Amino acid sequence: MKPFEYTRPTTEAEAVEFLGETGVQTAILAGGTDLTSLMRAELASPSRVVDLKQIPSLYQVTRSEDGIQIGALVTLADLVKNPLLDGYRSLFDVVDGVRSIQVQGSGTIGGDLCHLPNCWYFRNGYGLLGQENGVSLPETGDNRYHAIFGNEGAAKFVNASRFAPALMAWGTKVRIVGPATKTGSRERSSGLTVGAEWIPLEYFYVTPKTDRQGNTILKPGHFVSHIWLPDANQISSATYEVLQMEGLDWPLATASVCLNVEAGLVHDASIVMGHVAPIPWVTEDASRWLIGRPLNEETASFAADIAVSSARPLSMNEYKVQIVRTAVKRALLKAIGQLNP
Ligand SMILES: Cc1cc2nc3c(=O)[nH]c(=O)nc-3n(C[C@H](O)[C@H](O)[C@H](O)COP(=O)(O)OP(=O)(O)OC[C@H]3O[C@@H](n4cnc5c(N)ncnc54)[C@H](O)[C@@H]3O)c2cc1C
């Protein structure tokens, strides 16, 4: 690991200052469960690490007028203990899938959202797109864990966040904090002005065309401070992850759903698939098809067929189509309490 300067800001504004200094390559540290691995492997070699853990506002979970606001440093373990989040079952399902008490205790929701891909080409130094001399290694090599949707361009990795599909199905927004700009929204924090903007989570992730583009809209000097969830009223939710191992493992595929069922018919539905594309993959067609219909084995199965109908597997990952199809069907049935163990 290369030497680096370690800073511990105590306010958001101070963090923005540490992150924004010209000519300094910075990295954000939250729980550190992944950043430390990236630094050890020299996949990240910042000259300054900005540890967010001394900023009290980033630990808060508060009720706002129309929803719940969660600080980016809230750990997985604290999330499930918070009574304000009782109605958000799909999030609990995600925490339950992370089968390590240590990771639940130190991993944060912000760190999960910003987790870089687990693609083995990226993790072995071939960049986000996994290219060697301009040739795509996932295209020509072992691509069994790669994308089956959204893989037409250069990016073949899958988004690593476990929470993003569930949060996106809920219609979550993320608050991004950075240097104040003349045109953007500005806030005062400890005597300084910072830029702060709420963005729908579905606009947070990008499918990069080049290695330098990154896989989120976060610019250098910016960080995620909070997420906002709408009220859980009338909504049933669930996440179904397909894991290869019983222990700590990344899902092969996942599906999260939020449903509003009235008088036995689906009134509103949102279905998002995870670990199948460079971004969490929303299936609007399947959600639309369910509206006005009863939800049962047959309709859940049909909706799952629609959800995977546009999949384009690579040479070694056709199996993921069936896996995510099953995840969608089971997440739908789980949300209404009809999934038999
Ligand atoms: C050995 C090991 C194995 C693991 N295996 C699994 C596994 O199989 N499945 C699983 O789900 N999890 C696994 N994890 C946990 C995984 O790292 C989690 O995703 C965790 O939630 C990341 O959170 P963190 O706070 O530790 O992130 P960090 O490591 O601190 O940060 C992760 C990334 O996000 C950036 N970042 C962090 N916070 C912010 C923010 N607020 N704004 C902007 N950028 C930010 C960091 O710069 C970094 O690039 C494992 C961890 C370890 C140590």
| Residue 213, C-beta contacts closer than 8 angstroms, at least 6 positions apart | 128, 206
CATH at 253: 3.30.465.10
Residue 32 CB: number of other CB atoms within 10 A?
Answer: 16
Question: Which contacts (CB < 8 Å, 24+ apart) does range 300-309 have?
Answer: 300/328, 300/329, 300/332, 300/333, 301/329, 303/271, 303/328, 303/329, 303/332, 304/328, 304/329, 304/332, 307/255, 307/271, 307/273, 307/283, 309/285
Could you tell me which residues come within 8 angstroms of residue 321 by beta carbon, excluding any fewer than 6 positions away?
A: 148, 308, 311, 313
Q: What residue ranges line ligand 1, CB within 6 angstroms?
A: 27-35, 52, 72, 98, 103, 106-108, 110-112, 114-116, 162, 218, 223-224, 248-250
pLDDT in tens, 35-58: 999 999 999 999 999 999 999 999
Read off the pLDDT of residues 160-197 as tens digits, 9 standing for 90 and up: 999 999 999 999 999 999 988 766 666 666 666 788 99
In a domain, 124, yes or no: yes
Say if 341 falls within a structural domain.
no
Please report the pLDDT score of residue 193 as a whole number.
75
- Reported as a pLDDT band with limits 50, 70 and 90, residue 292 is very high
Looking at the 3D structure of the chain, how many domains does it have?
1
Residue 340 lies in a domain: no
Domain assignment present for residue 219? The answer is yes
Nearest-angstrom CA–CA distance, 281 and 293: 23
Q: Is residue 70 part of a domain?
A: yes
Residue 314 tokens, joined:
């690579």
Q: Give domain status of residue 133, yes or no.
A: yes
Q: Which two tokens stand for residue 2?
A: 């290369």
Residue of 120 and 248 predicted with greater confidence: 120
Residue among 18, 101, 115, 120 to mutate when testing ligand 1 (max atoms within 8 A of CB): 115
* pLDDT value for 21: 87
Tell whether 265 is covered by a domain: yes
Contacts of 13 (CB under 8 A, 6+ apart): 189, 190, 191, 192, 193, 194
Decide if 204 is inside a domain: yes
330: containing domain: 5-335
* Cβ neighbourhood burial of 19 (10 Å; 0-12, 13-18, 19+): buried
